[in-house]
Chains A and B, each alone.
Chain A
């Protein structure tokens, strides 16, 4: 039996990658129940494999959410498999946490069903026009393509949500103001919006001509006062710290100017000690990858 047992051990790698036939899978599952070494190996290798999946993340269409939730809530759940020595019920602590979350979250079907994007866009245009007034002082708006117009509309929608805090912060620093204007009016500006893994949505408008990017976010999760969101420029030669952002009411943050953007740089955000770190010490909660 030892030869075939050895043979079975070698399936741990393929099994962790789901690279086994159904027959192999069933056979190895039996082996797993009796081989502690393979259980441990598979556990570790699956953690690594899971990251290959995380690295491929793409957000689904928003309308799938409601559909999926509805289907789930209409389905029965499997009863727990009660272990011989029953541990204290998990979930009790979680339930307590979730009560407070439930009160705060806009997750009920009633209020997620009516997004009214028109209203946001309308209020956003005002914000954009006010900002563009500043940009226009530096550079008269050139005739813009349809694609650029779409980008501008999206910028407007995003900035619209942060108008008051954005403008307050704009007033704070003239230099920052000029850089923001330069980025927003640069012909090569690119705007990217992405979900933040810990919650919220971040938007980055970058321009290599301006050598800078503008970071804004909404819905960011508040952090303890000892921590902050740190922005990173991640280039081929290493990572450079590019500033801290502190979420305001409603999790809004920015606009924060990211200076020193170089071609090929990605822009990422991690959670770090409030005074900032010299290199990222935790997982990236959002990454912006420039188009080639």
Chain B
């Protein structure tokens, strides 16, 4: 047994012969998964499991529930890979949209059972709430900087929606603002974020 045999992790697709491996594009992986390609799905899992879990956990905050929802999301990706349409957005956005929607659905159903006090307690925006002491992330710093370029109101509206799973009406209530204002701030915030991050 060689020295590296013992160490495998979530990024388990680290190729044995790295010199010959190319990183397949995420779209290509999803297209292959749509055809039932199990290898492609394994690669897709390795590529996206951290994104999915991170998003879900950020919204749900409960690690055990987050793992459960992560698995649901990955299952949905397997099942509905054939529905991915590159014309409607990038593969990353497709994966993240599924992940975020599942997380939001779950947190809302949890919240509908929670007391008013519990609800208020979770309405906290905490951008530096890093669950692990240190975690790598794709461009976390750039996102943090770009969030900093938003107005405070834009940031609050986008953050309460994306990271806490509130509807724009709930955000309006939490911030004592007219719903129309919140809708606009969400849009403006996202557009500013898009421009800052250079994603289209």
A interacts with B: yes
Q: Report which A residues bind B (CB closer than 8 A).
A: 10-14, 16-21, 24, 39, 41, 43-62, 64-65, 67-69, 71-73, 75-81, 90-91, 93-95, 97-98, 100-102, 104-107, 112, 115-121, 123-124, 157, 160-161, 163, 192, 194-202, 218-222, 234, 247, 249-251, 266, 268, 283-291
Cβ–Cβ contact A52 & B163, under 8 A: yes
Cα-based distance from A283 to B115 in the complex (angstroms)? 42
Q: Does B20 contact A (CB under 8 A)?
A: yes
If A73-B38, A75-B75, A247-B18 touch, does A54 touch B10 (CB 8 Å cutoff)? no
Query: A-facing mask of B16-33, CB < 8 A → 1, else 0?
Result: 111111111101110110
CB <8 Å contact, B97 and A220: no
Contact in complex: A17, B161 (CB < 8 Å): yes
Q: Let me know if B144 is at the binding interface, CB within 8 A.
A: yes
Is B141 within 8 A of A62, CB to CB? no
- Whether A194 contacts B82 in the complex (CB less than 8 A), given A11-B183, A219-B11, A289-B140, comes out as no
Shortest 3 CB-CB distances between A and B: which pairs? A219-B14, A120-B6, A13-B187
Chain B residues within 8 Å of A52, by CB: 143, 147, 158, 162-163, 193
Complex formed: what's the CA distance from A121 to B7 in Å? 9
Q: Known: A53-B55, A57-B138, A219-B11. Contact between A100 and B132, CB under 8 A? A: no
- At the interface, yes or no: B119 with Cβ under 8 Å from chain A? no
Q: Is the CB of A284 within 8 A of B7?
A: no
Chain A residues closer than 8 Å to B88, beta-carbon distance:
39, 43
- Distance of A43 Cα from B57 Cα, bound (Å): 24
> Least Cβ distance of A285 to chain B in Å?
7
A-chain residues with CB within 8 Å of residue B24 when the two chains form the complex: 94, 97-98, 101
Consensus secondary structure, chain B interface: helix
A76-B79, A196-B136 provided; 20 other pairs, C-beta below 8 A? A13-B190, A18-B161, A39-B88, A44-B199, A45-B190, A47-B93, A49-B96, A54-B55, A54-B140, A57-B140, A58-B57, A60-B49, A77-B82, A78-B83, A101-B39, A102-B39, A106-B8, A199-B46, A251-B15, A268-B141
**Whole-angstrom distance between the Cβ of B46 and the nearest chain A Cβ:** 8
CA distance A48 to B199 in the complex (A): 6
Q: Which residues of B contact A195 (CB under 8 A)?
A: 9-11, 50, 136
Partner of B49, one of A51, A65, A119: A65
Provide the residues of chain A in CB contact with B38, threshold 8 Å: 69, 73
Choose among B13, B53, B135 the residue that contacts A105 (Cβ–Cβ < 8 A): B13
A55, B144: Cβ atoms under 8 Å? yes
A202 closest partner in B (C-beta)? B136
| Given known A-B contacts A54-B96, A250-B16, A64 and B67 have beta carbons under 8 A apart | yes
Q: Nearest chain A CB to B196's CB is how many angstroms away?
A: 9
Rounded to whole Å, the gap between the CB of B22 and the closest CB of chain A is 7
Let me know if B193 and A14 touch, CB within 8 A.
no
How far is A78 from B9 in the complex, measured between Cα atoms in Å? 30
A203–B63 Cα gap in the complex (Å)? 24
* Given contacts A94-B28, A197-B138, A17 and B190 within 8 Å (CB-CB): yes
Find out whether the CB atom of B143 lies under 8 angstroms from the CB atom of A78: no
**A64 close to B13 (CB less than 8 A):** no
B132 CB, min distance to chain A CBs, angstroms = 6
Give chain B nearest CB distance to A16 CB in angstroms. 6
Pairwise interchain contact A78-B80, C-beta atoms closer than 8 A: yes
Q: How far is the CA of A56 from the CA of B126 in the complex (A)?
A: 12
Closest to B6 in A: A120
A58: contacting residue among B14, B50, B199, CB under 8 A: B50
Q: Are A56 and B45 in contact (CB under 8 A)?
A: no
Separation of A58 and B135 alpha carbons in the complex (Å): 6
Q: How far, in angstroms, from A213 to B76 measured CA to CA in the complex? A: 41
Cα(A59)–Cα(B180), bound, Å: 37
Which of A24, A54, A72, A81 is in CB contact (< 8 Å) with B41?
Answer: A72
In the bound complex, what is the Cα–Cα distance between A287 and B171 (angstroms)? 32
Contacts of B89 in A (CB 8 A): 43, 46-47
B167 contacts chain A at the CB level, 8 A cutoff:
yes
Task: Tell me the nearest residue of chain B to A72, going by C-beta.
Answer: B78
Contact check, B18 vs A107: say whether CB atoms are below 8 A apart.
no
Residues of A within 8 A of B10 (CB): 59-60, 62, 65, 195
Q: Which residues between 127 and 154 of chain B lie within 8 Å of chain A, taking CB atoms? A: 130-144, 147
**Given A56-B57, A64-B49, CB of A222 within 8 Å of CB of B82:** no
Chain B min CB distance to A166 (Å): 11
Q: Which of B1, B35, B90 contacts A95 (CB 8 A)?
A: B35
B81-112 CB contacts (< 8 Å) to partner A: 81-83, 88-90, 92-93, 95-97, 99-101, 104
